[in-house]
Amino acid sequence: MFVLLALVFAVGFVVFGVGSGSTGISSALQNAFNFGGGSSGPSISSLRHKTAENPQDAKAWRDLATAYEEKQRTNDAIGALQHYMKLRPKDQAALQELASQYKSLSDSYSAQAQQVELAAQSSDPFSAIAPPSTTPLGKAFTSTSLLQDPIAAAVSQDATSQATTLFGKLNAASLNEEKTYKKLAELAPNDASNQIQLGQAAQSAGDTPTAVAAYRKFLELAPDDPLASQVRALLKQLAPAKK
């Protein structure tokens, strides 16, 4: 009997993590099979099954997008929202959500590109003291066949390639964000918030004419808004008055 009780206690320590500061195997079982815990909604796999069985099920696509967002799977969330928008093209709340997902994506690419650039700079100890690249000595520093360390040169070239790819993705995400806000502005042209968001998205995408038009529309709709003074100052920078 003593041996049996000892065995029971030992199993309890392993399964439930008694005295170990963790939940032991029970935690793994809960994570794998959702034992002892609730769920905020249908699983991604079940929702994907629903959309596969009935691609016209708008609610399933919407729920799938939400499930992806909860897991921070931005690209997948965007894909699900795009499918949903084909079925519900006038859903302004979903369009707003899609635009925010594009913004999250562009922010992520921007952060990654900055990290790549910083990593490339830290890999070359002479980058901080290198002379201007336009001078003969500066050209020597940047030339892989002259003064630059071959390893540092290889790292720099790889970083440049990665940064170029990331900036391309960043630009695409920014353009998609702008495109989404344009749709929102078309659906609700008298909504000042849509106009300022369109202006910001267009500015990030480098589309100055659209940004200027959107900011001016915002001021027309909400001249006394707390942000109006900032928008006016921004317009002076983007579209300076002609002398």
Count Cβ atoms below 10 Å from residue 104 Cβ, excluding itself: 17
Q: Is the pLDDT confidence value at 13 over 50?
A: no
**Between 8 and 183, residue with greater pLDDT:** 183
* 165 belongs to a structural domain: no
Q: For residues 96-115, give the mean pLDDT.
A: 93
**239 falls in which pLDDT band (50, 70, 90)?**
confident
Count Cβ atoms below 10 Å from residue 61 Cβ, excluding itself: 26
Host domain of residue 71: 44-89
CA distance 199 to 214: 5
* 29 belongs to a structural domain: no
Q: Is the pLDDT confidence value at 145 over 60?
A: no
- How many domains in the chain? 2
Last residue of a domain, one of 35, 58, 89: 89
pTM of the model: 0.68
CB 185 within 8 A of CB 214: yes
